[in-house]
Amino acid sequence: MTLKRVVVTGIGALTPLGNNLQDFWSGLVSGVSGANLITLFDASKFKTRFACELKNFDPLNHLDKKEARKLDRFTQTALAASDEAVNDAGIPSANLNVDRIGVVFASGIGGLITFQEEVTSFAKGDGTPRFNPFFIPKMILDIAAGHISMRHGFRGPNFSVVSACASSTNAVMEAFNLIRLGKADIILAGGSESVISEAGVGGFNAMKALSERNDDFQTASRPYDNDRDGFVMGEGAGALILEELEHAKKRGAKIYAEVAGAGATADAYHITAPHPEGLGAKNVMFAALDDAGMKAEEIDYINTHGTSTPLGDVAEVKAITDVFGEQAYKINISSTKSMTGHCLGAAGVVEAIACIMAVRDDVVPPTINHFTDDPNLDSRLNFTFGKAQKRTVNAALSNTFGFGGHNACVIVKKYNS
């Protein structure tokens, strides 16, 4: 069968760099660090006392007070980003068949804050079970997708996917496949995460996954730097309106970019560490290129997973050089996690948005916080250190990898009729 073409017609972004797409993209291009001391809880006794929190996010700007109380923060942020994407795509004013508009929305962890609050409250009590009736609906991973569909009346395919930090890239891939197979006309795809809490930070601290650079937190996220010591936790949400091309053209929708292809693989190696040779990362990039029918030399920019962990950065770079060969030295590479921190289950869609904007504006956002070269990384590669670079970006590839060995990759390109 002939697969349908899929384009991006709306974007919403709620990130540590800004509470809308424009502010987020401006922050990326300007090389702004989203890191600061934690305000969401008292972190004074924790090994890590900083994170990339949202700035001035008030759920009451998006929800009434009664409704907001029924939702975990990850769902509140999901609705905020989704509202922006829906409005950006012009969906409210269009006469559309809502039975063919779906939602595929992801989270890596879901309502951890709600879970912590409810269990802590019970543990402090006298043993009498007094739980919030919204405890379970606030916590479960799929609830953001459900609330988005109810908010906008979308009655097409509706579900969540989870693959740790690759979750929202998998959501974009699932939405892409549903549309090109003719199962829907439009799907809102993305993800959200908000686990900057005692349980979240404490849990990742126990794994020794987080940077502990408390005296220099704004430069703590240091992808590819020799002195990197772990990732910086972020939070936020991103939403994309993916739409079948002819459907978008018929209603006169603006088109940001085309989704060219996607891939998913597993390391089958370790619960948290990447395959040392970057095998799963290599295979997923090959899979995405094959799905897109593209050659390595057609990729201009790679937004890497680049978490700022000692093992992860090396494995991914090795995979890139294996996949792209000599072409790797002509590609711009950058890790926007140096600015946003690691948004966990939302990271994939947030970084896909960075790729879409790079394709639209022909600007590659930088990798900030680089001070010392790592001798284990190929210095001939262009990591876009320090500041954004102008170049023609016809196609961009976004990598995301998750605990459990999950790998997902999506390719976006300039739309050409």
Which structural domain, as residue segments, surrounds residue 368?
261-413
What are the start-end ranges of the H helices in 154-244?
A: 167-180, 198-206
User: Exactly one of 62, 147, 275, 342 is catalytic; which is it?
Assistant: 342
- Is residue 342 part of the annotated active site? The answer reads yes
- Is residue 370 part of the annotated active site? The answer reads no
- Is residue 62 part of the annotated active site? The answer reads no
Which of these three, 250, 277, 292, is where a domain ends?
Answer: 250
CA dist 149 and 78 (Å) reads 11
In the chain, how many domains are there?
2
pTM metric for this prediction: 0.97
User: Exactly one of 165, 343, 355, 409 is catalytic; which is it?
Assistant: 165
Q: What is the 3-state secondary structure (H, E, C) of 279-336?
A: HHHHHHHHHHHHHHCCCHHHCCEEECCCCCCHHHHHHHHHHHHHHHHHHHHHCEEECC
Q: Which residues pair with 238 in a beta bridge?
A: 13, 191
CA dist 279 and 205 (Å) reads 27
Same domain? 155 vs 30: yes
Same domain? 16 vs 153: yes
Which of these three, 194, 216, 250, is where a domain ends?
Answer: 250
Which of these three, 210, 226, 250, is where a domain ends?
Answer: 250
**255 domain-assigned:** no
**Residue-wise pLDDT tens for the chain (417 aa)?**
799 999 999 999 999 999 999 999 999 999 999 999 999 999 999 999 999 999 999 999 999 999 999 999 999 999 999 999 999 999 998 899 999 999 999 999 999 999 999 999 999 999 999 999 999 999 999 999 999 999 999 999 999 999 999 999 999 999 999 999 999 999 999 999 999 999 999 999 999 999 999 999 999 999 999 999 999 999 999 999 999 999 999 999 999 999 999 999 999 999 999 999 999 999 999 999 999 999 999 999 999 999 999 999 999 999 999 999 999 999 999 999 999 999 999 999 999 999 999 999 999 999 999 999 999 999 999 999 999 999 999 999 999 999 999 999 999 999 998
Same domain? 46 vs 194: yes
Same domain? 296 vs 242: no
Same domain? 61 vs 81: yes
User: Exactly one of 152, 305, 370, 406 is catalytic; which is it?
Assistant: 305
Same domain? 96 vs 190: yes
